[in-house]
Amino acid sequence: MDGSDKQLSLYDRLGEEAIERAVYLFYDKVLADDCVRHFFKNVNTAILAQHQYNFLLTVTGGPGAYTGRTLRDAHRKLVLKYGLNDSHFDVIVELLKKTLEELGVGYSTIEELIAVVESVRGEVLNR
- Total count of domains within the chain: 1
4 lies in a domain?
A: no
Q: What is the pLDDT of residues 67-117, one digit of tens each?
A: 778 989 989 999 999 999 999 999 999 999 999 999 999 999 999 999 999
3 lies in a domain?
A: no
Torsion angles phi and psi, residue 34, rounded to 5 = -60, -30
45 lies in a domain?
A: yes
Q: Which pTM does this prediction carry? A: 0.87
pLDDT of residue 5: 54
Confidence of residue 125 (pLDDT cuts 50, 70, 90): very high
pLDDT of residue 67: 77
pLDDT of residue 3: 45
Q: What is the DSSP string of 83-101?
A: ---HHHHHHHHHHHHHHHH
CATH number of the domain within which 21 lies: 1.10.490.10
**Residue 59 belongs to what domain range?**
10-124
The secondary structure of the chain, three-state, reads CCCCCCCCCHHHHHCHHHHHHHHHHHHHHHHHCCCCHHHHCCCCHHHHHHHHHHHHHHHCCCCCCCCCCCHHHHHHHHHHCCCCCHHHHHHHHHHHHHHHHHCCCCHHHHHHHHHHHHHCHHHHCCC
